[in-house]
């Protein structure tokens, strides 16, 4: 079973700064099936990035994804107040693996 480990657990930054979130897989993941989500308190997750680097519909270009193999990164170039939330990476593998989510990174205001 593929395990996704996100780091750091909590990231404290100020608006305007750059955020770099990491997602490391226990074994190689197809880049085509690596996604990132944003979740705010009391809300459902929102898809940000799919296919490791493609932005979902309506996602601002300050969000970018990169990586391959076992190491993936979500970068937020300049933090806006609404970007402070929890971020999850997710991979999808062939049966019987299915989907796996990381444990999340909380991005908080410093």
Partner 1 sequence: QITLKESGPTLVKPTQTLTLTCTFSGFSLSTSGVGVGWIRQPPGKALEWLALIYWDDDKRYSPSLKSRLTITKDTSKNQVVLTMTNMDPVDTATYYCAHTESKWRDAFDIWGQGTMVTVSS
Is the CB of 37 or the CB of 84 nearer to partner 1?
37
Is the CB of 46 or the CB of 62 nearer to partner 1?
46
Q: How far is the CB of 16 from partner 1 (least distance, A)?
A: 28
Euclidean distance between CA atoms 14 and 24, whole angstroms: 25
- Pair 101, 5: CB distance under 8 Å: no
Is the CB of 37 or the CB of 72 nearer to partner 1?
37
Q: How far is the CB of 50 from partner 1 (least distance, A)?
A: 4
């Amino acid at each position: 079973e593929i395990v996704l480990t996100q780091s750091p657990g909590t990231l404290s930054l100020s608006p305007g700064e750059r955020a770099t979130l990491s997602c490391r897989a226990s074994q190689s993941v197809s880049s085509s099936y690596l996604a990132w989500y944003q979740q705010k308190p009391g809300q459902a997750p929102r898809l940000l990035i799919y296919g490791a680097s493609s932005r979902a519909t309506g996602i601002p270009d300050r969000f970018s994804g990169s990586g391959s193999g076992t190491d993936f990164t979500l970068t937020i170039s300049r933090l806006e107040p609404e970007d402070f939330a929890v971020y999850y990476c997710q991979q999808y593998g062939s049966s019987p693996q299915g989907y796996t989510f990381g444990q999340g990174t909380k991005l908080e205001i410093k």
